[in-house]
A = this chain, B = another copy of it.
Amino acid sequence: MIKIGIVGYGNLGRGVECAVLHSQDMELTGVFTRRNPKSVKTHSDVPVYSMDKVYDMKDQIDVLVLCGGSANDLPKQTVELAEYFNVVDSFDTHAKIPEHFANVDEASKKNKHISIISVGWDPGLFSLNRLYGQAILPQGHDYTFWGKGVSQGHSDAIRRIDEVKDARQYTIPVEAALQSVRNGENPTLVTRQKHTRECFVVAEEGADLQRIEEEIKTMPNYFADYDTTVHFISEAELLRDHQGIPHGGVVLRSGTTGFEQENKHVIEYKLTLDSNPEFTSSVLVAYARAAHRMYQEGQHGCKTVFDIAPAYLHPESGDELRKKLL
């Protein structure tokens, strides 16, 4: 059994707990939190420890799955823990990945541990499909669409507007753009042509709805470059209809082959997810399995999804995989 520790117990940590419980070759050692451990109630009866206890339990943990945020937690936490543990994180600030990789790689190598960073679906599975697509069809174009799904950052941005009580924002791919890519037309698409934004807003009583709508639609970076729809709804409706955290998206590689580039090919990878954090957690747990196996083989240093042979992710042996899945 692979012994897993969870660092941080929000949506992602809870998802990892759930995924480990459903994995036959894994067991949970504990959850580690910076909060008061007594205030954290896990779903299963896995014990909760204070974060500073984690180093005492080094020998009871094969892989730590780090479930903190990319902005404030992981840049420091992954580096600190990678020195003493095999770790997997979901660091998703694309622009800072090279820096994070270098820091974690240095830490991991001190005691020959293995770390896998930026695991999830984007970065993660979507990145994999961008790589496979370019490697197989070097003459071609990449497209990534996100949604339909809840964007936490955009929802938060709306909540910061005056007289807004709560809000939920959905990112939605433009179907016509998707279809054009699927047809191999290789369109050049500006921001507005790729995604629309739909907002469900609970305003305070007597609020100036027109002003709120205007503030949303003209907000730079978040909404100004998109066609945005704003719906004002009641708090009860928000609770009833918008509590899920669905997401997903599509990665496409549209390319050509042939001596005259006369043959078109489209590779499409599409995710439709009821729960963004639970799916991301499931990816993290599969890569925790890989981290453990690669560590047992003596591999060390920082890796990403690009460096992990697929067979490491699946509980069955190479023989079984060749027989059943190849």
Contact = CB atoms under 8 A, between A and B. Distances in A.
B258 A275 contact: yes
A319 B98 contact: yes
A310 B305 contact: yes
Interface stretch (A64-72, A123-131, A150-158): A123-131
Interface string A108-143: 000000000010000101011011101111110000
Copies of this protein, total: 2
Nearest to A314: B135
Contacts of A136: 125, 279, 282-283, 286, 313
Contact of A306 (B21, B273, B326): B326
Interface stretch (A75-83, A159-167, A189-197, A260-268): A260-268
Contacts of A134: 314, 325
Contacts of A325: 127, 130-131, 134, 306
A209 interface: no
Contact-size category for A: 35 or more
Interface in A173-223: 182, 184
A318 interface: yes
Given A21-B259, A123-B326, A308-B309, 19 more contacts: A94-B326, A98-B323, A125-B136, A127-B326, A131-B310, A131-B325, A134-B325, A135-B315, A136-B286, A258-B278, A263-B278, A264-B274, A265-B271, A269-B269, A306-B310, A306-B311, A306-B325, A307-B311, A309-B309
